[in-house]
Amino acid sequence: MNEVIQNIHNRKSVRKFLDKQIPKEDIITLIEAGIEAPSGHNSQSVRYTVIRDQSLINHMSEIAKTHMKTSKIDWISKYGHNERYHVLHHAPTVIIVSVSEKAYSPVEDSSAAIENILLAATSMNIGSLWVELIKYYFKDPNASKVLSIKEGYTPLYAICLGYENKERVFHKPSRNKDVYDFIEE
């Protein structure tokens, strides 16, 4: 099987990380993979904030959980009330993905960049996880200032990165294969 296709098949969400930091050069390599993603009208609208301060990562999780507790969506509220749940899964590195307020397709641009980073991380034996629940941290009026988000950009998602804890490996769920149809002459 083609190496790229194999890497796509191997990619999985990792939620248990070792307490070991990723070298800065590897993080830059991952961000450079994100930079190569397509963007609507070639706007190149995505920015990255790399957080390697565990106390800030823990603070972000706690603030997010405070807001999650009030969610009308039952499972989100339950996670917010769960003392053991950590929104960012104690990852040693978290990348906040922000997008320009002028972007033509902000969600699509950031999603393409994130997928490139996730696939690059897999190819480098780095565990990764795309976290949408971080949006509850962004409800805090000080969040953008705390994270030094550049003016004119909106933070949307987080990517958790670290080395997978092999003692607590979770296997990738099987995929539904009955999801396509052909229309031919």
Digit-coded pLDDT (tens) for 55-72: 999 999 999 999 999 999
Residue 170: pLDDT over 80: no
Tokens of 57: 């990562």
**What one-letter code names the amino acid at 103?**
A
Q: Give the residue from 3, 18, 17, 5 showing the smallest Cα distance to 129.
A: 17
Burial letters 86-123, b for 16+ CB under 10 A, else e: bbbbbbbbbbbbbbbeebebbebbbbbbbbbbbbbbbb
Spatial separation of the C-alpha atoms in residues 185 and 59, rounded to whole Å: 57
pLDDT of residue 25: 98
Global pTM reads 0.93
Q: What CATH number labels 16-165? A: 3.40.109.10
pLDDT of residue 171: 75
- Cβ contact 92:161 at 8 Å: yes
Confidence band of 95 (pLDDT split at 50, 70, 90): very high
- pLDDT of 121 higher than 90: yes
3-state SS class at 158:
strand
- Domains of the chain by residue range: 16-165
Q: In this structure, how many other beta carbons lie within 10 angstroms of the beta carbon of residue 61?
A: 23
